[in-house]
Amino acid sequence: MPKPDILMPAPMSPEVISALDDRFVLHRLWEQPDTGEFMNSVGPHIQGLAVSTLAGRIDDVLFDRLPALEIVANFGVGYDNVDARAAAALGIMVTNTPGVLDEEVADLTLGLLLATIRCIPQVERYVREGLWPSGAFPLSPTLRGRRIGILGLGAIGKAVARRLDGFGVEIAYHGRSRQADVDYDYHDTPVALATACDVLIAIVPGGAATRHLVDADVLTDLGPDGVIINVARGSVVDEAALIAALRSGTILAAGLDVFEDEPQVPEVLLTLPNVVVLPHIGSASIKTRAAMGQLVVDNLVAWFDGGKPITPVPETI
């Protein structure tokens, strides 16, 4: 049997590349001197895609050029970079990498929450700049007594909630529906959740359905002691409204791992004292990224061996 042809539009880890090289004919698009000519000659033979967000948008434009495509294996649990509905309509399978990163992202979320509320990066800079001898850093806000609203109580949201249980804070959540097996208070809109809480942790999927779920109204209802933590996708929070709310004191602070136009971070956010910024590192440990890469490989192998991927996305099950 000839080995299936897999296209990798943008580089993935050496381990993933090596594993795919062993099992498939792997084509590295970024190494092609003439990508147009390559797509014309090799595109019709491509049966699988291995992609991350670095590959850009995976949609009909690409599908049109890959008539033999059977599967898109996405590196990441979020797959808003892939038009899964368009893929489903064409009978193309899409897989993602759930399960192997939940605890890692939840750890990072708690780190970002504490860093934001207790001003840890700001205080660390204060010490490095030699300012401690000139006086103590101003007192910080606190996590004590807070009510935390989780926007998206899915696999990662629940891992966040488990950690927060140990912190002795109140927890509530919003999703499109109430979960029967969950005891936390449910709120049927983001505004209602924000009104009931003074911390909002966004951990919903990206895409059109959740675009600007956190808007000016939600921020206003979160209130002047309010803290927003976004580890979901930049598109989930209206960044212009967030900047205005942070500047005006409509909310207290923000901890952001994701941005609307990554890797660009609005200059003004970097000048605000009440913001902690991270470069989209929720899952970015050596161990977890390796597990995600292995799941990309395993999904492709499972598909071409037996037609049953391990972790298909709901749109293409």
- To the query of whether residue 262 is one of the catalytic residues in this protein, the response is yes
In the complex, minimum distance from the CB of residue 40 to ligand NDP, in angstroms, rounded to a whole number: 34
Out of 233, 239, 260, 289, which one is annotated catalytic? 233
Between residues 77 and 242, which has the closer beta carbon with respect to ligand NDP? 77
Minimum CB–partner distance for residue 160 and ligand NDP (Å): 9
The catalytic position among 15, 37, 124, 262 is: 262
Contact with ligand NDP (CB under 6 A): which of 39, 258, 275, 300? Answer: 258
Q: Indicate which single residue of 9, 98, 234, 293 sits in contact with ligand NDP (rule: CB under 6 A).
A: 98
Rounded CA separation 5/21 (Å): 10
What residues does 170 pair with on adjacent strands?
147
Is the preceding omega at residue 263 within 30 degrees of 0, hence cis?
Answer: yes
Q: Is 233 annotated as catalytic?
A: yes
Whole-angstrom distance, CA of residue 99 vs CA of residue 309: 15
**Binding of ligand NDP at residue 175 (CB under 6 A)?**
yes
**Using rule CB under 6 A, residue 177 touches ligand NDP:** yes
d(CA 23, CA 4): 8
For residue 132, give the nearest of 142, 144, 124 by alpha carbon.
124
45 assigned to active site? no
Counting contacts by CB under 6 A, is residue 150 touching ligand NDP?
no
Residue 288, φ and ψ in degrees, nearest 5: -70, -40
Interaction mask 180-209, ligand NDP, x per CB under 6 A = -----------------------xxxx--x
Q: What one-letter code names the amino acid at 280?
A: H
- Residue 220 to residues 65, 181, 233, 252, Cα–Cα distance (Å): 46, 31, 21, 11
Decide whether 29 or 77 has the Cβ nearer to ligand NDP: 77
Dihedral, CA of residue 83, residue 33, residue 263 and residue 51, to nearest 10? 40
Q: How far is the CB of 225 from ligand NDP (least distance, A)?
A: 24
Query: Measured from the CB atom, is 7 or 231 closer to ligand NDP?
Result: 231
Residues 6+ positions from 262 with CB-CB distance below 8 Å? 234, 280
Is 226 near ligand NDP (CB under 6 A)? no
Instruction: Give the C-alpha separation, 10 to 80, whole Å.
Output: 17
Q: Residues interacting with ligand NDP, by CB under 6 A?
A: 77-78, 98, 101, 105, 152-157, 175-177, 203-206, 209-210, 231-233, 257-258, 280, 282-283
Active site residues: 233, 262, 280
